[in-house]
């Protein structure tokens, strides 16, 4: 039986890549209830006050996680993304240019938001540094 508290007092930030769904728990010898897993595209923490950081803070201060691991992986889709191509796809799907401009005017930096990376190691270090 499990509770809301992780048995191993650990939180992991990992990529949302579907290959990791079974691979990560198996590689780390984890079962349901052992840890809190937080997933994001690329396992990236891009803002100190964003939802990923909020989830990590809840894991540590409310769910008693003593350790936080950031786990990246090779061949990550986020390493190949460009903000320009993402914005083009968003527009192709029907999001009006005015909405995108409103977000930009509100302070959304799409180059930072859709930030890709060249090195898994550097991206993990960058997330830890945030």
The pLDDT-based confidence of 66 (bands split at 50, 70, 90) is: very high
- DSSP tag of 119: -
pLDDT over threshold 80, residue 1: no
The pLDDT-based confidence of 15 (bands split at 50, 70, 90) is: very high
Q: Is 47 annotated as a binding residue?
A: no
Q: Is 73 annotated as a binding residue?
A: yes
Q: Is 69 annotated as a binding residue?
A: no
Q: How far apart are CA 120 and CA 70, in angstroms?
A: 11
Q: How far apart are CA 76 and CA 41, in angstroms?
A: 9
**What CATH number belongs to 10-78+117-129?**
3.40.1050.10
Domain with CATH 3.40.1050.10 in the chain: 10-78+117-129
Q: Is 126 annotated as a binding residue?
A: no
């Amino acid at each position: 039986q499990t509770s809301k508290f992780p048995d191993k007092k650990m939180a992991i930030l990992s990529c949302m890549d579907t290959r990791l769904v079974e691979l990560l728990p198996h590689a780390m010898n984890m079962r349901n209830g052992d840890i809190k897993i937080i997933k994001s595209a690329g396992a990236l923490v891009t803002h100190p006050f964003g939802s990923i950081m909020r989830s990590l803070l809840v894991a540590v201060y409310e769910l008693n996680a003593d350790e936080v691991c950031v786990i990246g992986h090779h061949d990550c889709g986020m390493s190949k993304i460009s903000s320009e191509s993402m914005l083009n796809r968003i527009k192709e799907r029907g999001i009006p240019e005015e909405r995108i401009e409103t977000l930009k005017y509100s302070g959304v930096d799409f180059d930072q938001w859709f930030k890709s990376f060249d090195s898994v190691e550097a991206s993990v270090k960058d997330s830890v540094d945030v």
